[in-house]
Amino acid sequence: MIRFAILTVSDRSARGERPDTSGPALAEAVINHGWMVVEQKIVPDEIESIKLALQNWCDSQKIDIILTTGGTGFAPRDVTPEATLAVIERATPGLSEAMRAHSMQIHPHAMLSRAVSGIRRHTLILNLPGSPKGATENFAVVVPVLPHAMELLHEDPDAETGHLSSLSSGHKSLI
C-alpha cells in the first residue's frame, strides 16, 4: 500500500478565499488506484511553509510519495520548485520530463512549467500543476512506475525481478 500526502500550494486557498479543488482531485485519483492518502494540507506560496511541510512529511517516514499541486509557473510567488529543490537529496528528472512532455502534447503552455521532482530519504516528491485537470493528467503519466519506484526506494529485494524477466524476454534494460 503506497501512502501519499498531498500539499496544495495556494495563497487564496490558504486564506480561505477559494476552495481547493486540485488537492481533492488528486486524492480521488490516488484512492482510485487503490492507494492511501494519509495527509493533506494547504499552504501559502511561501518557500518556508512549503519546505516545512515537505521536510516534516519526509522525515516522519510515514509518507511514501508527496504530491504538490500549484506554484510551479512563472508568477513571482510560484516558488514550489525552489522549496522542493531545497529539501530533496536526489533529483528525479525523468519523472518531471515525462510529465512535461505529455502535457505539451495537450497544451503548449505546459512548457512554462517549472515543476521538479526528487527524493528525500525514502520519500518521493512530485510537483504537479495547480489545476485539477493538469494535476490529475500529470499524475496519470507517472502512475505506472510508482510501485516499482517504491520498491527501489524501500530496497525491496524483489525490485529487480521485473528487470530480469524483461531481459530474459529479449528486452534491453535502459537502467
Q: What is the pLDDT along the chain (175 residues), one digit of tens a residue?
A: 999 999 999 999 999 999 999 999 999 999 999 999 999 999 999 999 999 999 999 999 999 999 999 999 999 999 999 999 999 999 999 999 999 999 999 999 999 999 999 999 999 999 999 999 999 999 999 999 999 999 999 988 887 876 555 444 554 545 4
- Assigned C-alpha cell, 11: 495563497
Residue 20 DSSP one-character state: -
pLDDT value at residue 131: 96
The Cα 87–Cα 98 span in angstroms is: 22
CB contact at 8 A, 78 and 90: no
Q: Coil, strand or helix: which one is 131?
A: coil
Q: Provide the sign of the torsion angle of the four alpha carbons 44, 139, 35, 151, taken in this order.
A: negative
In the block, residue with C-alpha cell 488506484: 33
pTM of this structure: 0.91
CATH number for 3-168 (one of 3.30.930.10, 3.40.50.620, 3.40.980.10, 3.40.50.720): it is 3.40.980.10
